[in-house]
Amino acid sequence: MAKIPIKSKDEIEKMRASCKLVASLLDRVGDIIKPGISTESINTFIHNETLKAGATPSTLNYKGYTKSTCVSINDVICHGIPSPFEFLKSGDIVNVDVSCYLNGFHGDSSRMYFVGGREACSKDAQKLVDTTFDALMVGVEAVKPGAKVGDIGASIQEFIESTGLGYGIVREYTGHGVGRNFHEAPQVLHFGKHGTGDLLKPGMTFTIEPMINAGGHETVLSKVDGWTVRTKDKSLSAQWEHTVLVTESGVEILTR
Ligand code: MF3
Ligand code: CO
């Protein structure tokens, strides 16, 4: 297992700045999400506003990915590639995933949006989106010095199972350390066992980003583009993501 970087005070300030930028972009992108817009126009907005802020999009040219954000609609779990030929429609649920590199540090966060407003979406979609947000927060609350990385996933799994809704927790895609590198140690699973994995210490920064399917947990990776991940059973999927810091007393959400 790779060593988990501990960020200094100065490094944490830089993480705060990149994470604040990500949060403000996610705030503002909410205003342009409307029926009829293309996913490419979301990408253009994120791309231009990131550059204006003096940052660069972390995903751009990352492992051959050519866009500045991921936009994942309905049964797309994650890594939806923005396209000028794909349009949002009323009743869709959509995840926008934004990551920025600023002054040597990355920030990473994603949120769900209801296209056409909450009431335009089915009750089942609303329940999935809300429950997935709650799952993220349950994971965040498990973070404190002395806890183990595995406590995060175990808490999320317990919560999802306790709802009795039969949702599937995606296993192949995980949270991750974030800092000087877009992806670094530790890997943060969204399921698992309490008391397993690395010890959490003040100064660690990582994402928690549960992907929850209304149906089964199984995923299918697009053979067409090599990126888009969909639910195998075509059920809806939701995801919320924060970058968090382990503090002396607990946890701080950096991408709020
Ligand atoms: N926020 C995503 C992550 O947590 C972004 C990765 S998209 C990629 O890793 F296309 F750049 F891989
Ligand atoms: Co991430």
Average pLDDT of span 121-134 = 99
Query: What does pLDDT average to over the chain?
Result: 98
pLDDT of 162 reads 99
Q: Judge whether 1 lies within some domain.
A: no
Average pLDDT of span 198-202 = 98
Q: Judge whether 77 lies within some domain.
A: yes
Give residue ranges with CB within 6 A of ligand 1.
59, 62, 65, 70, 79, 97, 99, 108, 110, 207, 209
Q: Judge whether 94 lies within some domain.
A: yes
What does the alpha-carbon distance between residue 76 and residue 94 come to, in Å, rounded to a whole number?
9
Q: How many domains does the chain have?
A: 1
Determine which residue's CA is closest to atom 9 belonging to ligand 1: 183
Residues in the chain: 256
The pLDDT of residue 1 is above 80: no
Q: Judge whether 2 lies within some domain.
A: no
Model pTM score: 0.98
Q: Judge whether 196 lies within some domain.
A: yes
Average pLDDT of span 218-231 = 98
pLDDT of 85 reads 98
Average pLDDT of span 82-99 = 99
The whole domain housing 245 covers: 9-253
Q: Judge whether 4 lies within some domain.
A: no
Asked if 105 and 54 touch (Cβ cutoff 8 Å), the reply is no
Q: Judge whether 3 lies within some domain.
A: no
pLDDT, one tens digit per residue, over 51-79 is: 999 999 999 999 999 999 999 999 999 99
Burial of 52 (0-12, 13-18, 19+ CB in 10 A): exposed
Q: Judge whether 181 lies within some domain.
A: yes
Provide the percentage of residues in the chain whose pLDDT is more than 70: 100
Which CATH number covers residue 176? 3.90.230.10
pLDDT, one tens digit per residue, over 237-251 is: 999 999 999 999 999
What does the alpha-carbon distance between residue 44 and residue 67 come to, in Å, rounded to a whole number?
9
Phi-psi region of 226 (alpha: psi -120 to 50; beta: other; left: phi over 0): left
What does the alpha-carbon distance between residue 57 and residue 160 come to, in Å, rounded to a whole number?
32
Average pLDDT of span 110-136 = 99
- Residue 129 CA to ligand 1 center (angstroms) comes to 20
Q: Which atom of ligand 1 is nearest to the CA of 65?
A: 10
Find all residues with CB under 8 Å of 69, minimum gap 6, and list them: 42, 43, 46, 47, 57, 59, 82, 96, 97, 98
